[in-house]
């Protein structure tokens, strides 16, 4: 599980959540709300801090943007549709030189996303060879397709909870991590909610394993 954090919550609460969820994805709203809070997030020693900037620009602009946050993040998310030459090629090269990782968006979780472009995105993904991909948990068929096309890449899946995807379904369809945010940080007791979600996910995964066997 990856915690999606788009707003500031008490550091003590975040520290407790970190005991159960060891990766965090940081969105623009939180960065714009309080950039100094990022220092506190880093001090919690997450297994991975992913900056979800949905980068989609020319190479120079994207490199300048990630340069501002290079000391905070382990990985960055970019859109794949911007293409390779003069865009993702230089971004990928820059991040590799900085010992940072890249995730490319192949399928988003909202209803308006069009997966007809996937063949084009897949070709870009094969060339760039990132750490992994973002594929919406609300699109289980696309998770299966991407897993079949990229068997050794990490798939992270947003859209669990508030956007309608059921906990554990993305994992059962081939994702490595599910991303959940509002269901945790908007709850009255985020720590307890995080524990419940992890338990629910484990039950679902075990059910899938039994079905496969």
List residues forming the annotated binding site: 6, 25, 52-61, 109, 158-168, 181-182
CA dihedral 198, 203, 208, 213 (to 10 degrees): 130
Please enumerate, by residue number, every residue annotated as part of a binding site for substrate.
6, 25, 52-61, 109, 158-168, 181-182
* Catalytic residue from among 23, 40, 43, 54: 54
Whether 52 is a known active-site residue: answer: yes
Whether 189 is a known active-site residue: answer: no
* Catalytic residue from among 43, 47, 52, 176: 52
Could you tell me which residues are beta bridge partners of residue 50? 25, 75
Whether 54 is a known active-site residue: answer: yes
Q: Which residues are catalytic?
A: 52, 54, 57
């Amino acid at each position: 599980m990856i915690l999606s954090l788009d707003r500031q919550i008490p550091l003590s609460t975040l520290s407790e959540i970190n005991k159960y969820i060891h990766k965090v994805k940081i969105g623009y709203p939180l960065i714009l709300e309080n950039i100094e809070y990022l220092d506190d997030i880093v001090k919690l020693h997450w297994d991975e801090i992913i900056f979800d900037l949905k980068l989609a620009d020319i190479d120079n602009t994207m490199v300048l943007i990630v340069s501002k946050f290079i000391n905070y993040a382990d990985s960055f998310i970019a859109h794949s549709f911007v293409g390779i030459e003069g865009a993702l090629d230089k971004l990928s090269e820059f991040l590799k030189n900085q010992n940072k990782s890249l995730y490319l968006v192949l399928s988003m979780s909202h209803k308006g996303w069009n997966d007809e472009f996937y063949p084009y995105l897949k070709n870009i993904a094969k060339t760039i060879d990132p750490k992994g991909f973002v594929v919406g948990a609300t699109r289980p068929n696309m998770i299966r397709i991407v897993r079949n096309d990229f068997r050794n890449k990490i798939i992270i899946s947003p859209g669990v909870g508030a956007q309608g995807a059921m906990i554990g379904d993305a994992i059962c369809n081939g994702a490595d991590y599910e991303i959940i945010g509002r269901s945790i940080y908007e709850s009255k007791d985020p720590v307890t909610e995080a524990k419940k979600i992890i338990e629910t996910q484990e039950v679902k995964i075990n059910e899938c394993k039994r079905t496969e066997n």
